[in-house]
Amino acid sequence: MKKIIFSTLFIAMLPQFVQAAPKNIIYMIGDGMGPAYLAAYRYYQDDPSTKAVESTIYDQLWVGVASTYPDDDTIVTDSAAGATALATHTKSYNGAISVNHQHQPLTTMLEIAKAKGMHTAIVATSQINHATPASFMAHNESRKNYNDIANDYVDNKIAGKFVADVMFGGGTQYFIRKDRNLVNEFKQAGFHYADSWQGLSQLNKLPALALLAPVGLPSALDNPVVDPLKTMTEKALQLLTPSKEGFVLMVEGSQIDWCGHANDIACAMAEMDDFAKAIATAKAYVDSHPDTILVVTADHETGGLSLGAEGDYAWNTKVIKGVKHSAPEISRLLLQSSETDLSQTWTKATNIALTSAELASLTSAQQQVKSAIGTTLPTNMDNLTTVQENAIKTLNAVVKQHINHYSRTGWTSGAHTAIDVPVLSWGQQRLDFAGFQDNTDIARKLIGYLESK
């Protein structure tokens, strides 16, 4: 027993150049996942029947922190510059997809792995051509060029090979277009394609593409599919194993950020829960495949989340657990209910008892939307008038205002912030990621493993 502890400790303390580089890399990015999100999730999932607050998988793997500033005239990064740094170890401007200021391509970790004959994969809950996965796959001067970026997933080749062997997430809107059907092109090149969860479960060969929504997947809180990110991560690992030369798998918890932008705490906790389960899947994989390293971090923090607000020494997880849907979904349900049923619909969706004044503010916001749009929210929100848009925004805002008030959740912004983000790791080389580092250092170490092969 003493001997085993000594050898594990001894291996962990060996400097990087002595330890063999890991064969496989699992790289997980919680978009917008600042340190407060990890603490929030710990209290949110705490078992109230025990005195102690149970630690989470995030706590168990936590080894360091990283700075996230971009190469731009602000210290607050967007997801494109953040992911570019995490994918290439080079900083660039906000909006850049793995290009420098001269718009020249910066080689990504997945491209380096592909050039070494390794298997490569991306998994996300956003559209797969969104800023973070795109920064591993494509090169573009602007993250907004969604169709061009999608084209790059076919056109950007490494020694004649596609950059990724596995791509799971959303995005049919960008990959099946009138001007170009990229899904057909992938199929003609031998990719096995799925556009349903059942289809995903039946995939059993590389290369594989699964697009499970027109744009992003539904948020985890509203998604009838249980643990969507965990499910996709499991399938990706299954397809990548065994891998002769090893693999690099990038998994993004994309919508933590979307919930943060919306200041929607219940939505954020559901995303953190799905991400936690995907991380547990990856950790178990490392435990059974010790030649694998797992690194988890974030590209930035979103929303300026604080656990406690309004001068109260309180953050009420019970309130958050009682909220059954994301704010837009609650708004949709409220719109379908009559004025008399509104309070009942609200209580069923949130388990929060409102004062009559608060109920009045909700009713007037609901009425505004009804008179601007009617009782059914359009599925496609792109063609709304400003009046309609503002009415919906107001209703969502009132919904969140009540949830944030009763849970005492604070938000300083609807955008990103500059605070350092957590760095988590599991595997023999986990201490390589301990302590303070910059986001580019994380990528430099991982790329170092690849280049040492």
Footprint of Zn ion (CB under 5 A): 257
Q: Which is nearer to Zn ion, 165 or 271 (CB)?
A: 271
| Residue 158, φ and ψ in degrees, nearest 5 | -115, 110
Tokens 């608060």 sit at which residue?
358
Query: DSSP for 288-348?
Result: H-TTEEEEEE-S-EES--EE--TT-S---HHHHHT--S-HHHHHHHHHTS-TTTHHHHHHH
Rounded least distance, CB 99 to Zn ion, Å: 19
Q: Which of 7, 49, 55, 79 is catalytic?
A: 79
Q: Which is nearer to Zn ion, 133 or 207 (CB)?
A: 133
For residue 307, the number of C-alpha atoms closer than 13 Å in the C-beta half-sphere is 18
Rounded least distance, CB 380 to Zn ion, Å: 22
Nearest by Cα to 219 from 272, 155, 294: 272
Whether 280 contacts 155, CB under 8 Å: no
Rounded least distance, CB 373 to Zn ion, Å: 27
Residues 6+ apart with CB under 8 A from 48: 318
In the bound state, the residue with its beta carbon closest to Zn ion is: 257
What tokens appear for 58 in the block? 């995030």
Q: Which is nearer to Zn ion, 257 or 271 (CB)?
A: 257
Rounded least distance, CB 32 to Zn ion, Å: 5
**What whole-number distance in Å separates Cα of residue 185 and Cα of residue 182?**
5
Q: Which is nearer to Zn ion, 126 or 231 (CB)?
A: 126
Q: Is the torsion defined by CA of 65, 71, 73, 78 positive or negative?
A: negative
Rounded least distance, CB 269 to Zn ion, Å: 17
Q: Is 196 a catalytic residue?
A: no
Please give the DSSP secondary-structure letter assigned to residue 22: P
Q: Which is nearer to Zn ion, 146 or 285 (CB)?
A: 146
Q: Is the torsion defined by CA of 400, 402, 407, 409 positive or negative?
A: positive
Q: Which is nearer to Zn ion, 346 or 411 (CB)?
A: 411
Rounded least distance, CB 78 to Zn ion, Å: 7
Q: 105 vs 121, 222, 299, CA distance in Å?
A: 20, 38, 20
The DSSP bridge pattern shows strands 409-410 and 306-307 to be antiparallel
Q: Which is nearer to Zn ion, 163 or 217 (CB)?
A: 217
Nearest by Cα to 228 from 123, 340, 131, 118: 123
What tokens appear for 255 in the block? 């919508």
**What whole-number distance in Å separates Cα of residue 352 and Cα of residue 365?**
18
What tokens appear for 210 in the block? 């699964």
Q: Which is nearer to Zn ion, 257 or 432 (CB)?
A: 257
**What whole-number distance in Å separates Cα of residue 421 and Cα of residue 38?**
10
Rounded least distance, CB 415 to Zn ion, Å: 7
**What whole-number distance in Å separates Cα of residue 371 and Cα of residue 395?**
13
Rounded least distance, CB 181 to Zn ion, Å: 30
Catalytic residues: 79
